[in-house]
Amino acid sequence: MSVDFAKTPKLELHLHLEGAAPPAFIRALAKRKGVDLSGIFDEQGAYKYTGFVDFLRVYEAACTVLTTPQDFHDLTLAVLEQSAAHGVIYSEAFLSPDFCGGGDLSAWRDYLAAIQTAGATAEAQMGITLRGCITCIRHFGPEQARRVAACAQETAGDFITGFGIAGDENAGELADFIYSFDAAREAGLGLTAHAGEWRGPDELRAALKHLRVSRIGHGVRAIEDPALVEDLAERGTVLEVCPGSNIALGVYRSLRDHPVERLRAAGVALTVSTDDPPFFHTDMSAEYAGLHRSFGWDQPEFDTLAQTALRAAFCDAVTRDTLAKRLEAA
């Protein structure tokens, strides 16, 4: 059947707010502030990097011009506008206090208020609901993660609903972050962790054992271990799969090589997201179109994606019910 991918309602659970910053937005901000970021853009004005570690460098360089709550207010509106244009009705954004005042709680409150105000405006004007998942940065170390977890504890509520870890998967061990995840769990936050993108199946096991998460960001290398795939399916652990990201960074050569269809066929609960869309030249419509072309996914599969994301979303019952009604109406 024919699908209008831009109009298909979608819930996105794996989106980094800073990583979704349009290059033009960052370039304009840098120009206004007199900061030379020319080295992180190519001749067409897109982000330029070589490999995952360099991607992290460029990502963090782009963040250096995001220095005020107003910057993050404007960024949030720009990101949500693009998401809404591709049918996203609910977005959970990874928010990093490290980039919002350096993890200082007082500064974080100001940045959070600006992000939340922009989210409310976007919901009223664009019909997209935003919730925040506070995220520590793995390669910044476990001590800094404790500061981020304190920010999460103090601002947990209807808007800040989740906690996770991102960054360089090859830095340290997930067991080093048990304290931070225990603190977030005590605050009632949903838990997720980036794992199984660059390291293999044992990294997913570490996320399940030490951090006790209900969702795993990426998690695609679980496919290398049939026993783990079976365990994930039995547990109902939800994978936040980002095919375009994995291909752009070289985890897999092409979408046809990507294990998303094999994971789905094995009964693993999964969702699809863009991760850092302008870095990977993707959007939610492109992700759906690629799955349609490569694996024949159509409306039934996309409906399942939406329902899985709805069940896995870190949001309150009222929000979930509202989203369910919107999906039903569509």
Active site residues: 197
Q: Phi and psi (nearest 5°) for 62?
A: -60, -35
Give the containing element (helix H, strand E) for 309: helix 299-312
In the sheet that holds 129-137, the strands lie side by side as 10-16, 88-95, 129-137, 160-166, 190-195, 215-218, 238-241, 270-272
Q: Is 26 helix (H, G, I), strand (E, B) or coil?
A: helix
Residue with tokens 């850092």: 276
| CA–CA separation, 245 and 16 (whole Å) | 12
Backbone angles phi, psi at 191, to 5 degrees: -125, 135
Whether the Cβ atoms of residue 196 and residue 203 lie closer than 8 Å to each other: yes
Write b or e for each residue in 9-19: b if 16 or more Cβ atoms lie within 10 A of its Cβ, otherwise e.
Answer: bbbbbbbbbbb
For the stretch 49-52, contacts whose Cβ atoms lie closer than 8 Å and that sit 24 or more positions apart, written own/partner, are: 49/279, 51/249, 51/250, 52/168, 52/198, 52/249, 52/250
